[in-house]
Amino acid sequence: MKITRAEVEHVAKLARLELSEPELDTFTAQMDSILAYVEKLNALDTDGIVPTSHAVPMENAFRPDQPKDSIGVEAALANAPQHTDSFFQVPKVIE
């Protein structure tokens, strides 16, 4: 086994995903077979190889620090599941 059910449960917690009992079973089996497949990368010696995060050489892109137009409060809140005049509302955090 590459991954246990308990580990899958832990990862789900990290990912903020509530998984049902059947989902935990299915994902444990499927992740196990996918992780067994990716093990093949260990056949390659990668000592001294520089990791690639982007395929195209990148430099930091700078621009002048000047304020620009923004979309505004009304448009920003338009898709919010719950909001007051100018705030996103969430369930109470502190008891």
Q: Using the rule CB under 8 A, which residue among 22, 42, 84, 86 binds other proteins? A: 42
22 scored as a contact of other proteins (CB under 8 A): no
Could you give phi then psi for residue 34, rounded to 5 degrees?
A: -70, -45
Q: Using the rule CB under 8 A, which residue among 21, 22, 54, 85 binds other proteins? A: 54
Q: Where does 11-63 show beta strands of DSSP type E? A: none
31 scored as a contact of other proteins (CB under 8 A): yes
CA distances from 6 to 3, 13, 52 (A): 8, 11, 32
21 scored as a contact of other proteins (CB under 8 A): no
CA distances from 25 to 11, 38, 39, 78 (A): 14, 20, 21, 39
Q: Which is nearer to other proteins, 63 or 86 (CB)?
A: 63
1 scored as a contact of other proteins (CB under 8 A): no
Contacts of 83 (CB under 8 A, 6+ apart): 77, 89
Query: Which residues of the shown chain bind other proteins in the complex (CB under 8 A)?
Result: 3, 7-8, 11-12, 14-19, 23, 27, 30-31, 33-35, 37-38, 40-42, 44, 46, 49-56, 58, 60-61, 63, 71, 75-76, 78-82, 88, 90-93
